[in-house]
Amino acid sequence: MRAKARKKATSTGSLVVSTRARFGFTVAPGTTDDAHIRDITQALPPEYADQLFTAREQGATEQQLQQIAADGLARMYFRANNSRAHGLGVEFTDVKHMQIEL
C-alpha cells in the first residue's frame, strides 16, 4: 500500500502540505518583508514527494524534511510555480504544525 501511494505521488500525483508556520521574505539585498504566521494548504508537484520520501528513507531530520516542504511551498504558493516573484527568498520558521497528505 505504501509503495503504491509513493509511486503515484512521485510520478503523476502530488502531495498536499497543510501548515501553520511563520513565513518571511527576502527579495533584494537590504529589502525584506517581516515574517508572520500563515495557514497554508498547497499541492506540491511530484518531485517534492520524491524528495521527501527519499530524504525520510535516508534518515533526514524533521528540520530537513520541513525545509524540503518549505522549498515546495515557496515555489508553488509564493512564486506561483516560479512564474512570478523571481528571486524571492522565503524563510520558514516557527512551525506550529505540518501535515502532508498523499
Domain span at 90 = 2-101
Number of structural domains the chain divides into: 1
Compute the half-sphere exposure of residue 85: CA atoms within 13 Å on the CB side of its CA: 14
Quick: pLDDT tens for 12-70.
Answer: 667 899 999 988 776 666 655 677 899 999 999 889 989 998 999 999 999 999 899 99
What's the 3-state SS for 38-59? EEEEEEECHHHHHHHHHHHHCC
Q: Tell me the three cell numbers of residue 2.
A: 505504501
pTM: 0.78
